[in-house]
Amino acid sequence: MITNPMIETLMNRKSVRKYTDRKLSTEELETIVRAGQQAPFASQLYSVIYSTEGPIAFGAPIWFVICVDVHRLERFMKLRGWDIVTSDLTLLLLGMQDAAYMAENMVMAAESLGIGSCFLGAVSSSAARIEALSERFGLPDRVLPMVELVMGYPDEDFPPRPRYPLAFTLFENRYPELSDDDVKEAMKVMDDGYLKQGYYRRQNVKIQVEDGRSDDYTFDNYSWTEHISRKWGQWARSPDELLDALKDRGFSLFKD
């Protein structure tokens, strides 16, 4: 691989779950967010809220919530004498991209300053979390919390987590027919890498199985593909609560 300081920063980034007490300066905060703004965007359909008031996940000194924000778009369009006719589904998909690009730029800007970070995934799958964040931060209609992110100076050091082999990720011209052996090879790379790091053992994390399924796994063989299979083989079976939460935030994905 070609390497340079930017690529090294990208390749060495990992999720930090233990932080020192050192707080971010105002200059560091503004630099990180300003760098986030330089991400590509559809219509800057995002806004960022931060808090330093605890408790914050993993004891981090600062917590960001990056939102899909159609409220501001509506405000300036109205001043221009326009109403939005674009569907909420289109706006949400574009806004999710805007918020994700913003968040990733923030993370990498922080990384370049020696500041660690961790994405929190609950808001993307929990109607209750959307409601709680909306209430806590006084979000107006048409503003949807999308990405939760904590940051701070790391108080731990460990290697980055494994990724799929490039051959299982990068396809030229068309999507290939993946054989079982292709999939098993990629699974082995992920599982062996996580086991070597003792990732789940170190965190003492193992998702419990439901519906009477037997569980013969220990931390000697419980790894990434089993963990992910338990997530998406058991959780979030119905979209109804999320659709209701979106509607409560002012986004209607279906015609009445």
Q: What is the pLDDT of residues 9-45, one digit of tens each?
A: 999 999 999 999 999 999 999 999 999 999 999 999 9
Banded pLDDT at 98 (limits 50, 70, 90): very high
Structural domain tally of the chain?
2
Whole-number Å distance between alpha carbons of 212 and 224: 22
Do 71 and 14 belong to one domain?
A: yes
Do 149 and 173 belong to one domain?
A: no
Residues counted in the chain: 256
Do 72 and 129 belong to one domain?
A: yes
Whole-number pLDDT of residue 211: 87
* Percent over 70 (pLDDT), the chain: 99
Q: Is the dihedral of CA 178, 219, 151, 243 positive or negative?
A: positive
DSSP the chain: ----HHHHHHHH--B---B-SPPPPHHHHHHHHHHHHTS--SS--EEEEEE--S--GGG-SEEEEEEEE-HHHHHHHHHTT----S-HHHHHHHHHHHHHHHHHHHHHHHHHTT-EEEEE-GGGT-HHHHHHHHHHTTPPTTEEEEEEEEEE-BS---PPPP---GGGT--SSS-----HHHHHHHHHHHHHHHHHHTHHHHHT--PPP-TT------TTT--HHHHHHHHHTTS---SHHHHHHHHHTT---S--
Containing structural domain, residue 220: 166-232
CATH number at residue 61: 3.40.109.10
Do 27 and 135 belong to one domain?
A: yes
For residue 179, being part of any structural domain is answered with yes
pLDDT mean over 131-152: 97
For residue 254, being part of any structural domain is answered with no
For residue 243, being part of any structural domain is answered with no
Do 148 and 117 belong to one domain?
A: yes
For residue 198, being part of any structural domain is answered with yes
Banded pLDDT at 255 (limits 50, 70, 90): low
Q: 229 pLDDT exceeds 80?
A: yes
Quick: pLDDT tens for 62-75: 999 999 999 999 99
